[in-house]
Amino acid sequence: MSTPAIILTVLGAVAFMEVFAWWAHKYVMHGWGWGWHRDHHEPHDNALEKNDLFAVVFGSIVVAMFAIGYYVSDFLWWSALGITIYGLIYTAIHDGLVHQRYFRVVPKRGYAKRLVQAHKLHHATVGKEGGVSFGFLWARDPAALKADLRRQREAGTAVVRDSAGAGL
């Protein structure tokens, strides 16, 4: 593969993963995979969550992509690299910045603050029904997300936590 093709493949895989992550989060994790994802939405003192099993499954798929790509397809190998880069970004932002599993930094402004606010609003609902902001690296305006949560609460399609719902 040419250098421009490699760069496009890697960047395309990173972008694809944000779309895939949104879909998997909304329809798998908040659907039939709720049994693994539930503890991510509940308070606990454990270092690991059942939710971390998703990373093991998805990581295993990427390892297979690297192995098959090495022997069969440059495109598959470089796609696996893009997915890995997305995974590293996700881990740093979602687990590190948002959930503070690795470090304690509270952003005061800009993109990082918007991501943290959007994800906190995602966690504002009780249970798997309803909710907002299922992506990880792209976050809508928190005011729009609050309005969506308010509509869901009023329609009875989501139960919003009292502390999170105070500003709705």
Instruction: Centre a 10 Å sphere on the Cβ of residue 64 and count the other Cβ atoms it contains.
Output: 12
96 DSSP assignment:
I
For the chain, the domains span 1-105, 107-168
Could you read off the pLDDT of 63-103 as tens digits, one per residue?
999 999 999 999 999 999 999 999 999 888 888 887 778 87
pLDDT number for residue 166: 47
Cβ-contact 36, 52 below 8 angstroms: no
pLDDT number for residue 135: 85
The secondary structure element, H or E, covering residue 70 is helix 53-71
Task: Name the one residue in this structure whose structure tokens are 């490699």.
Answer: 6
Q: Bridge partners of 160?
A: 125
How far apart (Å, rounded) are the C-alpha atoms in residues 117 and 144?
12
How far apart (Å, rounded) are the C-alpha atoms in residues 108 and 13?
30
Structure tokens at 20: 């895939």
Instruction: Centre a 10 Å sphere on the Cβ of residue 133 and count the other Cβ atoms it contains.
Output: 25
Could you read off the pLDDT of 10-62 as tens digits, one per residue?
999 999 999 999 999 999 999 999 999 998 888 777 778 899 999 999 999 99
Task: Name the one residue in this structure whose structure tokens are 């990880």.
Answer: 136
Q: Pick from 22, 24, 40: which is nearest to 32 by CA?
A: 24
Q: Which whole number is the average pLDDT over 101-107?
A: 82
